[in-house]
Amino acid sequence: MADLRINLAGIQSPNPFWLASAPPTNSGYQVQRAFEAGWGGAVWKTLGDPILNVSSRFAAVSFNGQKVAGFNNIELITDRPLEVNLKEIYETKKKFPNHAIIASLMVEPKQEKWHEIVKRVEDVGVDGLELNFGCPHGMAERGMGAASGQVPELVQKQTYWVKEVAKTPVIVKLTPNITDITVTAEAAVQGGADAISMINTINSLAAVDINTWDTVPHVGGKGAHGGYCGPAVKPIALHMVGECARNPRINVPISGIGGISNWQNAVEFMLMGATGVQVCTAAMHHGFRIVEDMIEGLNNYLDGKRISSISELVGKSVQKYSDWGDLDLNYKIVARINNDTCINCNKCHIACEDTSHQCIDMLKDDSGKAYLKVREEDCVGCNLCSIVCPVDGAIDMVEVKSGLPPMTWNERQAALGVLACGVDPVAK
Catalytic residues: 135
329 contact partners, CB below 8 Å, separation of at least 6: 407, 408, 409, 412
Query: Do 270 and 6 touch, CB atoms closer than 8 A?
Result: no
User: Is the four-CA dihedral 416, 421, 424, 428 of positive or negative sign?
Assistant: negative
- Cα–Cα nearest to 373, from 384, 362, 385, 386: 362
Query: Do 234 and 168 touch, CB atoms closer than 8 A?
Result: no
Three-state secondary-structure class, residue 290: helix
Backbone angles phi, psi at 314, to 5 degrees: -65, 125
Residue type, 366: D
User: Is the four-CA dihedral 256, 261, 267, 268 of positive or negative sign?
Assistant: negative
Beta strands in 280-346 (DSSP E): 333-337
Residue type, 146: A
Residue type, 286: H
Query: Do 18 and 41 touch, CB atoms closer than 8 A?
Result: yes
272 contact partners, CB below 8 Å, separation of at least 6: 238, 241, 242, 245, 256, 315, 317, 318, 321
What is the number of other CB atoms lying within 10 angstroms of the CB of residue 270?
26
